[in-house]
Amino acid sequence: MPSLNAHICFNKKQINMKKYILVFSLSLFALTVSAQKKKKKQIPPPKVEAIAEPPKVEVIPEVMPVHEGEQITEPVGLVAPMPTTSTAFIHATTTGGKEIRFTDLEELAGSDLSKLKELSFSTMISGKTIESSLLQKILNEGIQLEVLAIENFALDAFPEIKTPNHRLKKLTLSQNKLKILPASISNLTALEGFDCNNPLTALPASFAQLKNLQQLGLNSHLFTAFPKEIFSLSKLSILYLSGNYKSETKLGELPDLFQQLPELKELGIQNAGLSSLPKSIATLKKLEKANFSYNQFKSFPEVLATNPKLVYVPFTNNPMQWEPFLASVKKIKWSGLFFLYETGFTKKQYELVQDILTKTDVYYDGMND
């Protein structure tokens, strides 16, 4: 029979063993937790593959005109915020490159105009007028002015240019309700770009003297005939004309004189009621962009089809007939972008056009449906 001392020694061993087991278990647990923490730190977060966004189409909210003196009520829907301190936006750049913003037309009138190189002013207040005396002052004293833009200010008439101006290179007159231009516009001898969005009824004969003009845009016009003065501008490389879409007055046809504009690279004539083009357009060997949308074509003009230099051709919203159009498409010798929206053709007909024009990208209604 074991002695008492042996029994006590055995119990001590058991206790010590339990301690060892407990300490070992705690150590193992601590190591496991530490390892898990390290493992968690080492695991990188799951990668989220970026999905390429489709091309964004910028939506420009319609800005409703507010007549001068009219109370502005809470806008409905999305509209551009109206100015709170001024009804005009006037921005200028000096000959030294310094940018200036004037708070109103009165401040502009009292400034030193002789140091300005660029000047533009616009308003979102429909019917806001500008005194002709201020424009006269700008033209007389702005002796170093190279760029002038006047947008959305109502003008009864553009002032006379009393002396030759050899500095002004770009003139923009947009939505000013001008019906005529002064004969003295020919005194802008350095003018290279003229953009006019006004209901002009004709051009003065002196317009033909603007021999340095390279870019010309005449939009919302009310011409009853194509202005022949344009054919004297032999340096023109860009020419766009668009009639007022609300008016029944249309050009109807074009003079066969385009051989006199050999530098043309871009030509666009819209809202003109055209159903054919003159043969002289085929002589435009540098023409790369041609836009004859919103006319009355029933087929694609051969003078454009045979021009191998074309790369960009909007031909939208023309009442084309399928058989004549299909025959005309087979004559196309250029490759590039061809826009055929609002023509009334079916998707199968558009796809047939694309099959014929293997080197041209055709864009049409419902092409992604």
pLDDT at position 77 over 70: no
Residue 212: φ, ψ to 5°: -95, 0
> H-type helices in the chain, by residue range?
4-42, 105-109, 132-141, 302-305, 322-329, 347-356
Q: Say yes or no to pLDDT of 267 above 70.
A: yes
Residue-wise pLDDT tens digits, 215-249: 999 999 999 999 999 999 999 999 999 999 888 88
Give per-residue pLDDT as tens, 111-140.
Answer: 999 999 999 999 988 778 888 889 999 999
Residue pair 88/68 in contact (Cβ under 8 Å)? The answer is no
**Mean pLDDT, all residues of the chain:** 82
Residue 67: what pLDDT? 40
Could you give the 3-state DSSP secondary structure of residue 338?
strand
Residue whose token pair is 């023509």: 343
Q: Is the pTM of this model over 0.85?
A: no
pLDDT digits (tens, 9 = 90+) for 15-45: 455 455 444 455 544 444 444 444 333 434 3
Planar angle of CA 144, 150, 155, nearest 5 degrees:
120
Residue 345: other Cβ atoms inside 10 A: 18
Contact call for residues 285 and 308 (beta carbons, < 8 A): no
pLDDT tens readout for residues 323-335:
999 999 999 999 9
Longest dimension (CA), the chain: 140
| Dist CA 340 CA 350 (whole Å) | 9
Q: Residue 168: is its pLDDT beyond 60?
A: yes
CA distances to 77, 107, 176 from 122, rounded to whole Å, are 24, 15, 10
Enumerate long-range contacts of 60-68, CB under 8 Å, 24 or more apart: 63/124, 65/124, 65/125, 65/126, 65/127, 66/124, 66/125, 66/126, 67/125, 67/126, 67/127, 68/125, 68/126, 68/127, 68/128
Pair 305, 282: CB distance under 8 Å = no
pLDDT of residue 180: 95
* pLDDT, position 369: 65
Q: Residues with Cβ < 8 Å from 269, sequence gap 6 or more?
A: 240, 241, 242, 251, 254, 291, 292, 295
Residue 56 has pLDDT above 80, yes or no: no
Tokens of 304: 């454009």
Please state, in angstroms and rounded to a whole number, the distance separating the CA atoms of residues 250 and 242: 10
DSSP assignment, residue 129? B
Give counts: helices (H), strands (E), the chain.
6, 13
* pLDDT band for position 166 (cuts 50, 70, 90): very high
